[in-house]
Every structure is written in structure tokens, then in C-alpha cells.
Amino acid sequence: MPEFQNIGLIGRTESESAVNSLERLMVYLEECGYQVVLEKGTATSVSSGNARVSAKDKMGELCDLVIVVGGDGSLLGAARALAQFSVPLLGINRGRLGFLTDIGPDEIEEKVGEVLSGKYMAESRFLLDMSITREGRQIGKGCALNDVVLHPGEFIRMIEFDLYIDGQFVYKQRSDGLIISTPTGSTAYALSGGGPIMHPKLDAIVLVPLNPHTLSSRPIVVEGSSEFKIIVGEHNPTKPYVTCDGHNQFITQPGDVVRIHKKPQRLTLIHPIDHNFYETCRSKLNWQNN
């Protein structure tokens, strides 16, 4: 019996190229005898054929493997929805950068075929859980594979907050916000904010201040088991926002408490057997031309 038999497909349906790759992939999988499970939104843009249709958050119960066709954003969304299950994810890049979706559109049959035959690398990644409490009552929660970000929201105004790590006071900061990033997210927004690139195998979290008022405030790397508490300042001229991977946006009020820690469940990413993190950095970040 093959390791993967029920294959879920999630696609970036607003992209014509992604839809073309999805249809090509569906034909290939069905010709090879696999049962295809289409995500409900994806099924509105492709011919479902003999495929089953499922809500995204139910695919973890039906699938042995989920293939995401799109950009890193598409895979992030799938990761948040499926993190509670043990189903692994494989990405086909139809976006721009493609740090997480590392199979090219011209090698779908070759690389997907290798993975389905057992020739692949499995990589474990952790996510972050976030919750917001107001006067002791939880008002919002979310999870992130890349990062949780506190930022000014609609207006470019400096905000103030207190940061605690493992119950210890770190600082009161005035800045444009704070990025709390996993190693997966270290090549995303955190990198643009001046944070370090972290190898995906690291059990660490990086905190990157956004344009801090005190120029000596620099990124901090702490152990992955750390627990963070951010208290929104009482005198902010605007109400800061909290986002998870750029989604699940919450508007805070003075005195709100944002708590962040590692999610108990981990995500398994599947890569082709020749995957190399440093080669990905060289090609995606254009290191070879520097």
C-alpha cells in the first residue's frame, strides 16, 4: 500500500497559472490511481472530476498528504488550518519568492512522482499560538507559521508596549511595532526588518523591533520554548493591531495583554530529495550575484 493514497489539493484560484498547474496535477494523480481531495474553494475554479470536495480544515482527517499550488502565502494558510493534524504539506510554487513551495511548475510530474514513490525529505516546523486578553477575558486568538506582528494598523504612528519573556521584564519600547518570528518566518517580514536568517532546524524565536525609537534596540534570539507577554501601552495615539502571518487581524486597546508561545502541534513539510536550504537562500535571495 503506498504511503500516500489520499492526496489533498489546495490552490491559489485567483492565479490562472496556478489553476493550470492544479488541473495538470489532478490529471497526473488520477492517472496514477490516487484519490484526490479538493479543497472547497479550490473546487470552484477547477474541474473536480472524480475528486472529493472538502472544507480546508477537514482535509487533515481525509488526506495522507496535502499539496499546495501557489505561493508561500497559500502554504501558510494551509499550515494554519491543518496544523492540528499530522498531515504533511508539499508546495508547488506558483507565486513569487517560494521559500516554502519549492517544486517548480515545469517539474510537477517528475518531483511529485518522486515524493509519492517515497523519495523525499521531511522537515518539522513549529508554529506560534497567540491570544489576546482584555481585563482577564480572552477576546481573540490565532496561530502563525511565520510570525506574529504588533503594528500601528491603519496609521503610521509610533506605539508603546511592555515586553516580558518567561515572566521577566525585558523593556518598555516605543517603535512601529514588534515582529515575533519562527525560523520559518526569519526569511520573510523579519528579514526585511533587519532580523537574522535562522536555519529551519533551530529551536529558536527571534524578536525584531520595527523602527525603534531607541537605536540601540536590536533583534533578540531566544529559545523556542520561551513564552512572551506584550502589554499594550496606556497612552498610544492609535490602537495597535496584531496579525498572524499577515492574517487574523485583531485591534487592541490600552492595557490588552498579548501572549505568544510555541504551538504544541508541529507541521511536517515535504521537500524533494535534493532540497538544500542554503541553495534556496542563494537562489531566492540572489546571493550568487553579490
**Residue of 72, 102, 129, 176 with catalytic role:** 72
Give the span between the Cα atoms of 112 and 131, in whole angstroms. Answer: 37
Q: What 3-state class would DSSP assign to 63?
A: coil
- Quick one: CA torsion of 217, 223, 228, 230, rounded to 10 degrees? 10
Residue type, 162: D
- What is 111-170 written as a DSSP string? HHHHHHTT-EEEEEEEEEEEEEEETTEEEEEEEESSEEEEE-TTS---EEEEEEETTEEE
Element (H, E) at 191: helix 189-192
Residues in a beta bridge with 124: 268
The CA–CA distances, whole Å, from 33 to 9, 204, 240 equal 15, 41, 51
Residue with cell 516554502: 100
Active site residue 245: no
Find, among 29, 110, 74, the residue nearest to 273 by Cα: 110
Give the span between the Cα atoms of 202 and 277, in whole angstroms. Answer: 13
Active site residues: 72
